[in-house]
Amino acid sequence: MSTSLAPEHNVATVCPLDCPDSCSLEVTVQDGRITAIDGSHVNPITGGYICAKVRRFPERLYGADRLLYPAVRKGPKGLASFARVTWEEALGMIAERTRDAHERWGGESILPYSYGGSNGLLTQDTSDATLFRRLGASRLARTVCAAPTGAANLAMYGKMASVVYQDVPEAKAIVLWGANPSASGIHLVPYIRDAQRRGATLIVIDPRTTPLARQADIHLPVRPGTDLPVALSIHRFLFEEGHADTAFLDAHTRGAERLRERAQPWTFERAAAEAGIDAGRLRAAAEAYAAASPALIRCGWGQERNRNGGNASMAILALPSVAGKFGVRGGGYMMSNSASWGITRPWIGADEAQTRIVNMNQLGRALVDETNPPVKVLFVYNNNAAVTSPHQQKILKGLEREDLFTVVFEQVMTDTARYADVLLPATTFLEGYEIARGYGPISLQLGKPVVEARGEARSNADVFGELMERLDLRSEQDPSGELEEMLDVLAKLPESIGSDLRDRGAATPPHNGRPIQFRDVWPLTPNRKADLFPERLDAEAPAGLYGYQPDPGTAEFPLALISPASERTVSSTLAELPRPDVHLLMNPDDAAARELKEGDAIRIFNALGEIRCTVTLGSWIRGGTVSMPKGLWRRHTANGYTTNALVSDALTDLGGGACFNDARVQVERA
């Protein structure tokens, strides 16, 4: 009998995961099964290659952790003990429990919990939002990432489109601030190298000597949480030593004088002492930035994850205004470009209900503390809260509540899925439609199904639509199923965008995808000026606008624990795949002070809890700071806790973000 396989063929689609690059993909399929994934050239940024993370995505599709059938809990919560049921039974149970909670405690007792697991436009804020709005459910503030930078960018520039990768080679000075594109958003790296070949000065501000920091002209390994005084000292220098562009400030900004006042106390010496860096090198960085044109700041997310994160982002984003770096190609700032399309999601079938808002960084509080009404139904999708949100123990305690009905709609058996009462299998982006919006390059692409869904996995549109039906919340205008939802979204996008996506699979970006700030695009603030001192934020921030809150370290817990993005996961997505052992990275001097050597079993602890793992030594992390990768699962440490077990649920100064990098810990031999 012949067993020959059908010939391979390639299918084009796009990566929608939470990464700036939005790669166009070429997927190899044989006999209905994906055998390889690589980059294509449809999105020119992709350049025919992708990251190692998504190359391994077939292992998620076909791996042992993949969820294939609906299931209900059989054993204690958290043990992943489930029995298979039909979709009919699973959705029936969810509808019944939702209806019951609604009747007894009101709509706000239902909490939807989601964030960017599949970051496209179809899998979030479509039929899910319609359902939860019509239910009058609690609203979720999606703040786990980019909330402080987003608040700063919105207040200062109205989320004006920013510099794109393609224009980086024009820059004569590049400041990479809190960003490590070698781990996430890898397609930025060749553009930076190109700029360096053309003579650009590279300045990297990061507690670790990242690959690009190694090649930088100036590396400032700041202590986590001190980016604000560092940025303010540069402002002070610009104002006091004649480098401020007063003509630009007068014409295009407001609030410069107030910023100048707040920066005044921060001499290079004082800021450098606070940040634990060399004052001379800080001055050299400021001088190089002031002297160059075009000069570009890549404002990342590392600087936002602490008590000063919003103000640090404000101060960093204000630099190109004060130094007059706008108006030329390659000059200005680069950060998320997700707002560049001006998409307002008109397809959500209900107005936003004015119900209570739960900050997703305080999920543990919402589940454990007394609230009115209590959360009785938790619906988790596109998210793995048990490992990605702060105060892990409190979240796990909440998920263990017997009176909490938890639905988890997921692709694989995550740490959160293990706590579900009802588990629903979700399709991946390779098994359905998606509209992927890049937030590095300004791109919008349509992804199409590459293979059939495995098992009984279903799309978000199918499941939320059917729940609406069962809860009698459906209206005649609602699309039915994934295909209709995709067509509905295309029809409600601005005409040229929708037809481009339909006809070509990619939309034509505004300004040819390469806008020049303050020439092609202008602040979307009410007066079209950059607001360097929004009074509203001055009132909101605990120490005022540009006000610094000192390091939370103590003699007992002196080490700053950070959890930066790694080369292995997109947040916690793909963490189920086999990987080398996970270690805590520690500077050799800190290890010697604790008599630790390479590979020792250790405990990392503070008042909130402890992690047990092993240590690896590297002088590429600054002293006083230790690091573990972002996105770990509980299986990666000896005692089942990850860095978020040591992170409090305190919020950033602006934007309600998570203070991941404010964890202060001690480390000792286990």
Q: Please report, as ranges, the residues that interact with ligand SF4 according to CB under 6 A.
A: 15, 17, 19, 21-23, 50-51, 53-54, 186, 570
Q: Which is nearer to ligand SF4, 51 or 420 (CB)?
A: 51
Pairing of strands 422-425, 71-73: antiparallel
Q: Which is nearer to ligand SF4, 238 or 570 (CB)?
A: 570
Q: Which is nearer to ligand SF4, 191 or 557 (CB)?
A: 191
We find the least distance from the C-beta atom of residue 451 to ligand SF4, in angstroms, to be: 17
Q: Which is nearer to ligand SF4, 45 or 176 (CB)?
A: 45
Ramachandran angles phi, psi of 202, nearest 5°: -110, 125
Ramachandran angles phi, psi of 526, nearest 5°: -55, -40
Half-sphere exposure of 475 (CA within 13 A, CB side): 9
Ramachandran angles phi, psi of 174, nearest 5°: -125, 125
We find the least distance from the C-beta atom of residue 336 to ligand SF4, in angstroms, to be: 14
- Would you say 626 and 606 are in contact if contact means Cβ atoms under 8 Å apart? no
Torsion of CA 363, 364, 366, 369, to 10 degrees: -170
Q: Which is nearer to ligand SF4, 45 or 377 (CB)?
A: 45
We find the least distance from the C-beta atom of residue 149 to ligand SF4, in angstroms, to be: 19
We find the least distance from the C-beta atom of residue 18 to ligand SF4, in angstroms, to be: 8
CA 37/CA 467 separation, integer angstroms: 34
Q: Which is nearer to ligand SF4, 332 or 447 (CB)?
A: 447
Give 138's contacts (C-beta < 8 A, 6+ positions apart): 107, 108, 109, 110, 111, 112, 355, 356, 357, 358, 366, 375
- Across 51-190, the runs of DSSP E, i.e. the strands, are 71-73, 82-84, 110-114, 139-141, 173-177
We find the least distance from the C-beta atom of residue 565 to ligand SF4, in angstroms, to be: 11
H helix runs in 493-573, sequence order: 495-504, 535-540
Q: Which is nearer to ligand SF4, 23 or 234 (CB)?
A: 23
Q: Which is nearer to ligand SF4, 15 or 404 (CB)?
A: 15
CA 283/CA 280 separation, integer angstroms: 5
Which residues make beta-bridge pairs with 271?
none
We find the least distance from the C-beta atom of residue 441 to ligand SF4, in angstroms, to be: 10
Q: Which is nearer to ligand SF4, 238 or 435 (CB)?
A: 435
We find the least distance from the C-beta atom of residue 564 to ligand SF4, in angstroms, to be: 16
CA 428/CA 119 separation, integer angstroms: 11
Q: Which of 340, 353, 376, 311 is nearest to 473 (CA)?
A: 353
CA 232/CA 314 separation, integer angstroms: 10
- Would you say 298 and 334 are in contact if contact means Cβ atoms under 8 Å apart? yes
Q: Which is nearer to ligand SF4, 67 or 430 (CB)?
A: 430
Residue 159 region, left (φ>0) first, then alpha (ψ -120 to 50), else beta?
left
Q: Which is nearer to ligand SF4, 22 or 384 (CB)?
A: 22
We find the least distance from the C-beta atom of residue 28 to ligand SF4, in angstroms, to be: 15
Q: Which is nearer to ligand SF4, 186 or 541 (CB)?
A: 186
We find the least distance from the C-beta atom of residue 447 to ligand SF4, in angstroms, to be: 11
DSSP symbols for 256-289? HHHHHHHHTT--HHHHHHHHTS-HHHHHHHHHHH
Q: Which is nearer to ligand SF4, 186 or 204 (CB)?
A: 186
We find the least distance from the C-beta atom of residue 57 to ligand SF4, in angstroms, to be: 8
Planar angle of CA 629, 630, 632, nearest 5 degrees? 85
Q: Which is nearer to ligand SF4, 118 or 321 (CB)?
A: 118
CA 153/CA 160 separation, integer angstroms: 8
We find the least distance from the C-beta atom of residue 598 to ligand SF4, in angstroms, to be: 31
CA 398/CA 365 separation, integer angstroms: 8
The pair of three-digit structure tokens given for residue 537, joined into one six-digit string: 């934020």
We find the least distance from the C-beta atom of residue 121 to ligand SF4, in angstroms, to be: 15
Q: Which is nearer to ligand SF4, 253 or 571 (CB)?
A: 571
The pair of three-digit structure tokens given for residue 17, joined into one six-digit string: 């995961």
Measured over the CA atoms of residue 494, residue 460, residue 355 and residue 471, the dihedral's sign is positive
We find the least distance from the C-beta atom of residue 438 to ligand SF4, in angstroms, to be: 8
- Would you say 149 and 662 are in contact if contact means Cβ atoms under 8 Å apart? no
Find the radius of gyration of the CA atoms of the chain: 25
Q: Which is nearer to ligand SF4, 15 or 238 (CB)?
A: 15
We find the least distance from the C-beta atom of residue 51 to ligand SF4, in angstroms, to be: 3
Give 155's contacts (C-beta < 8 A, 6+ positions apart): 314, 525, 531, 534, 536, 537
Residue 662 region, left (φ>0) first, then alpha (ψ -120 to 50), else beta?
alpha
We find the least distance from the C-beta atom of residue 452 to ligand SF4, in angstroms, to be: 22
- Would you say 158 and 524 are in contact if contact means Cβ atoms under 8 Å apart? yes
CA 292/CA 94 separation, integer angstroms: 59
Give 382's contacts (C-beta < 8 A, 6+ positions apart): 114, 115, 116, 117, 118, 123, 124, 460
We find the least distance from the C-beta atom of residue 175 to ligand SF4, in angstroms, to be: 22
The pair of three-digit structure tokens given for residue 352, joined into one six-digit string: 């936003």
